[in-house]
Structure 1
Amino acid sequence: MAETNTFTVLQRLKMELGDSDRYTSSDKNYMLDDEYIMRLAENGLADSSIYDYKTMKRQLLQTVSDVLSTFLNNIEIFRSHTSEFETQSEAYDGLQKRLNALDLKIASIPDTTTDSTNTTTSKFMPVFMD
């Protein structure tokens, strides 16, 4: 019988951010756990739930994007957590590229959180939405 690794949503978020000492001895600690937990909740995820790739991937990546987006206005804080960029400009560009890639990945995952009970077969499409 194969052993399966199970992670909580919070652990998986930290792995996605590279904010985990599971594989390295350094912990980036972008934010306190309470801040991660708040951002997970804002995206409909409970930090202590067991992570399920099939149903939670989109929300998890949205949370990653939310966390990383906070650094666009203060790139020096981001740079203090990583050594891969020599200048502020390089860090900003690298962060922006990562966020763009995340946005594309998020857009490619079907949104299962929307209400799919609207089964109208109308051929008319509203021009303006609320």
Structure 2
Amino acid sequence: MLLLIKIKERIDNVNVLDRLKVELNHKDYFTDEEYTMYLQENELTATDNYNKSTMQRNLLLTVIDILEAVSNDVDLMRTIADGTTNMSIGECIKLLSTRINDIKDRIATLPIDSEDEGNGNFGIMFTRGY
């Protein structure tokens, strides 16, 4: 029982940056400062405690942004496709593309916050007279 309490405390005290790194399998594609920039672009603060129910969608959008940046950086792709992976750059790009699509599918299954419902293009189309 004490072990379960400690595990829950540890999970509850994970900050957003650390949770992002878990989602990226602890791959150091960029510096923490660059990861923080990507988080901020998706309205997340790196030092906040991660709350899955309110932050998961934006965290996954951040992961997509990072993986797209990685796939667009040929030099970075060369380091990923080095001799330790036994994959070509093309194979790495294909795997990243598959991972990005899987994350997009995962995002599509997440419930939309009531705050966000009125902000989509569908709502704008009917409220602006398009």
- TM-based fold match above 0.5: yes
Kept in 1, the 8 Å contact 2:29–2:70? The answer is: no
- What is the root-mean-square deviation in Å for CA atoms of aligned residues? 2.6
Say which of 19, 22, 34 aligns to 1:15. 22
Q: Deviations over 1:37-82 (max 9, x none)?
A: 1111111111100011111111111100110010222244135146
Select the structure that is richer in helix: 2
Q: Deviations over 1:74-113 (max 9, x none)?
A: 2441351464451111111101000000111111112325
Residue 7 to residue 92, structure 1, CA distance change in 2 (3 Å)? same
Q: Give the alignment's TM-score, normalised by structure 1.
A: 0.75
Letter in 2 for 1:13: L
Q: Give the alignment's TM-score, normalised by structure 2.
A: 0.75
Residue 128 to residue 100, structure 1, CA distance change in 2 (3 Å)? farther
Distance in 1 (alpha carbons) for counterparts of 2:126 and 2:52 = 34
Aligned position for 1:22: none
Kept in 1, the 8 Å contact 2:77–2:89? The answer is: no
Kept in 2, the 8 Å contact 1:72–1:92? The answer is: yes
Identity across the alignment (%):
32
Distance in 1 (alpha carbons) for counterparts of 2:127 and 2:116 = 20
Distance in 1 (alpha carbons) for counterparts of 2:129 and 2:19 = 35
Aligned position for 2:98: 97
Relative contact order, higher structure (CA 8 A, sep 6+): 1
Distance in 1 (alpha carbons) for counterparts of 2:64 and 2:31 = 16
Please give the secondary structure, in 2, of the residue aligned with 1:71.
Answer: helix
Please give the secondary structure, in 1, of the residue aligned with 2:43.
Answer: coil
Residue 106 to residue 129, structure 1, CA distance change in 2 (3 Å)? farther
Aligned position for 2:39: 40
Aligned position for 1:31: 30
- The number of equivalent residue pairs is 115
Q: Which runs of no fewer than 5 residues in structure 1 stay unpaired?
A: 20-27, 118-124
Distance in 2 (alpha carbons) for counterparts of 1:110 and 1:62 = 14
Please give the secondary structure, in 2, of the residue aligned with 1:12.
Answer: helix
Distance in 2 (alpha carbons) for counterparts of 1:30 and 1:129 = 44
